[in-house]
Amino acid sequence: MAIGFLVICFSCGFGLISVYRAAFKAAGTRILREVQYAPETTDPGPVVDPMLESGADILCWCSSYAPMVHALTEYAYAKGFQGQIISCTMDGYDRLVARTSPELMEGVVFQFPDFDDPMLREKAFFFNRPHVFFAEYNRRFPETWSAVSWEYVAMLDIWHSAVEKAGSVATPSVLAAMKQLGHVTHAFGHAEWWGEEIFGISNALIGDWPVVTVQDSKARIAAFKSIPDWLAAHSGLLKSELAALGQLWHQRLESGGPGGQVSSRAVQG
């Protein structure tokens, strides 16, 4: 299957670019074109036009921020694109359904679910009754649900549990408490500490993560996939892609380059 692949051109996104490259290669999917753009870019035309000209039947927005995800998707729709769209996030996807079409948005793949998803009721979760939380969140803060509405709260929950266990807020003590049992329950269940081979230290939690698709104009979890299992099969490929962009820990240490600037992901109505 042919694919067009979009990447963002600033340093804090290079790690994710490597992940997408490795994932597509592991799946045997051909990358026809990569388009890099600066984070301050707001015009989707120069980004999307070369991708459409490549003849790709899949467009990937990689880790573009939500406002640009909306602009890119709406532009592709206006240009008549009818293929598959993949993105890290798809905050405000309901607005995109309204501004494009249910047909274009059907099957869009991303990785952050709504918490009223039926599959979360059957999953070992970091808090009880996620659908109730989702309903209350939307009642209090309508049309603001996003990938970070719960992501950082889940991280804080892990930190809070470790603080209680350590009896201290000192970073070394909290980290030691987190790692004492060798695993932590993260947002979607059991997770393992990983990363030394690539990052120089095993401070990344990996476990199952949902594959989310738009089905009948509503985000639904299609499946949970094991990141540890994928890494067991493809960590060498991921490492080579990270090395190609200078993202291995020793490369970053040697380069001494500053990190990129992160700005708001919020989508305006």
Of residues 41 and 1, more confidence is placed in 41
CA distance 134 to 24: 32
Confidence band, pLDDT 50/70/90 cuts, at residue 265: very low
- As a residue count, the chain comes to 269
Confidence band, pLDDT 50/70/90 cuts, at residue 224: very high
**Which pLDDT belongs to residue 15?**
81
**Is it the case that residue 220 has pLDDT exceeding 90?**
yes
Q: Which residues is 208 bridged to in the sheet?
A: 226
Of residues 262 and 237, more confidence is placed in 237
**Is it the case that residue 269 has pLDDT exceeding 60?**
no
**Which pLDDT belongs to residue 97?**
97
Mean pLDDT of all residues belonging to the chain = 86
**Which pLDDT belongs to residue 262?**
37
Q: What is the pLDDT of residues 78-99, one digit of tens each?
A: 999 999 999 999 999 999 999 9
Distances (CA, A) of 243 to 32, 142, 184, 199, 237: 21, 42, 29, 11, 10
Beta-strand pair 183-186/84-86? unpaired
